[in-house]
Structure 1
Amino acid sequence: MTISLLDWRRRVHDLYAAVRAADDPAEGWAAWRRGRDELFAGHPDSPLGTAARASFTGLPVAPYDPDLRFRARVEDAPPQRLGLPTADDGVVPLDRIGRVTLGDLGRLDVWWLAGYGGGVFLPLRDGSAGQDTYGGGRYVLDTVKGADLGSADGHLVVDLNFAYHPSCTYDPRWSCPLPQEGNRLDPVVAAGEQLPADGWY
């Protein structure tokens, strides 16, 4: 852990706090986009590789679609523990704490990161994976790292417009836990972060 990485984490937490405080979800999303572009372009802990950072003009993101924002009840699901191996962080333990139903798109498992501190983790791999988005999938929530859109009364805010790529999308030096079977949707989710035409590396 370095002081610059601590600053990155604080700024991500602050960015999502501003999203949760926004009166209009689309305005919060626009602020999130601007904040992520600033971090990727100028922060020393940007996940971009050297070449990608030199030519960076912003993260490609699909237009905001209000129909892809859900206030989803966390439904019961059979307990399950996963140990996801990564190249650098060992095995990441995850405990399934429930499921959310996202309209006609389907259901996704909701996980609790069982390491120190814990946090809600909601990854997503949809029909766009390997074409317009990273083949391994994207993240919607990762609260231990600040990606938290809000919750109340047993419900989570699951706004697929905030789906973002894990760090391993941008440079092979990163490794990331990726969506398992219960976090895969067949339909294309035309929202959130997209890949540039030639990828990031």
Structure 2
Amino acid sequence: MTVQETGTDTGRHLGTDLDRAQFVQQWEQWHDEQERHLTAPHGFLAVTSLRWLDSEPARFPDAPGAWSSTDEGVVVHLDEGEELTVDGTPVHGRHSFGILPERASVSAVTGDAVIEVAKRGGHDIVRRRHPDSKLLADHTRAPAYAPDPRWALPGRYLPFDEPRPVTVGAAVEGLQHVYDAPGQVEFELGGHTHALTAFGGRDPGSLLVLFTDATSGVTTYAANRSVSIAAPDAHGGVVIDFNRAVNLPCAYTDLATCPLPPAENRLPVAVEAGERIPYERLGGEQAANS
């Protein structure tokens, strides 16, 4: 779940054509970067399989070795003639990846493919990523609403006294994720005040909000979208730029374990901004006409 941070300058109430043109240009640059990340040779569209590990060593047709989840973490046993490269070093025989923290991942290279070793929802998994993935080859640029400064909303960060563990569902049935929520973001929309639970973002002090709204399942992906928020200012002020609401990997592939939004993050209003249902899910022609 990696997204670009929303710049604080996007929240200005823009009044001139020059300001609007600059806003659109900045959004287009941001969306281009989103696409470069999504379509990287070993990005999420390159995932070709998802394997759930248990204590019994298992072999898979698209990865060397026999893989298992043990008391010392993920272990792979490589037969003679099999090899993986880990941190630039070839490995043979038995190799332990150690116990991975939740949501952490490490990579091993085999030929042109990368084997992602990760922990999701308390379970060890391996995912193969290959640049020849059909999903990557067939990808069409993610559709999105036209950027509009009206959707860059001022808000206020309301920190909790202590971060609260929040359990949410996942795109995989029966799986759960637990995130620490440092607080909520409050903003006005549709004549009402809304408060969304926020998780920690990628950059220090930044926030990440998972949400759905009245467009979900209609013009935007049904399960979730996310929006990143730059660190609050000294007075707790934030900008929630819904133009930069993005699809999570599960919008493109069933080989993802993405978290679902907390119940309180289901907005009853339509947020007609940000990325829409991917063509891969909706069908290119139908999406283009929606």
Q: What is the TM-score normalised by the length of structure 2?
A: 0.52
Question: Deviation at 1:161?
Answer: 0.3
Task: Point out the more displaced range, 94-103 or 56-65.
Answer: 94-103
Aligned residues: 181
Matched, 1:152 2:233: yes
Q: Corresponding residue for 2:29?
A: 31
1:86-109 per-residue CA deviation (whole Å, 9 max, x = no partner) reads: 459863233351331133264132
Q: Which has the higher strand share?
A: 2
SS in 1 for 2:281: coil
Q: Aligned equivalents of 2:187 and 2:26: distance in 1?
A: 23
Cross-structure match for 2:144: 61
Q: Give the CA deviation at 1:60.
A: 0.5
For 1:129-148, list aligned pairs within 5 A: 129-141=216-228, 148=229
Distance in 2 between the 1:31 and 1:119 partners?
20
Q: 1:92 and 2:174 equivalent?
A: no
Residue 273 (structure 2) pairs with residue 186 (structure 1):
no
Whether contact under 8 Å (1:100, 1:110) holds in the other structure is: no
- Measure how far apart 1:198 and its partner are: 5.4
Q: Distance in 1 between matches of 2:205 and 2:175?
A: 15
Q: Which runs of 5+ in 2 are unaligned?
A: 11-18, 48-132, 284-290
Aligned counterparts of 1:136 and 1:197: Cα–Cα separation in 2: 16
How high is the sequence identity, in percent, across the aligned residues? Answer: 20
2:44 partner SS: coil
2:207 maps to 120
Question: Cα deviation per residue 1:138-193 (whole Å; 9 max; x = unaligned)?
Answer: 0012xxxxxx4453121122100000011111111111111122111112111100
Higher-RCO chain (CA-CA 8 Å, sequence separation at least 6):
1
Pick aligned residue for 2:167 from 83, 95, 100: 83
How high is the TM-score relative to the length of structure 1? 0.72
Write the letter of the residue equivalent to 2:152: R
Residue deviations 1:34-80, cap 9 Å, x none?
11122223331234653332122311011011111012112467985
Give 1:172's aligned residue.
254
Q: Are 1:109 and 2:196 counterparts? A: yes
Q: Distance in 2 between matches of 1:97 and 1:150?
A: 12
Mind listing any 5+ residue stretches in structure 1 that lack a counterpart? 1-7, 142-147
Classify 1:61/1:48 alpha carbon distance in 2 versus 1 (closer, same or farther; 3 Å).
farther
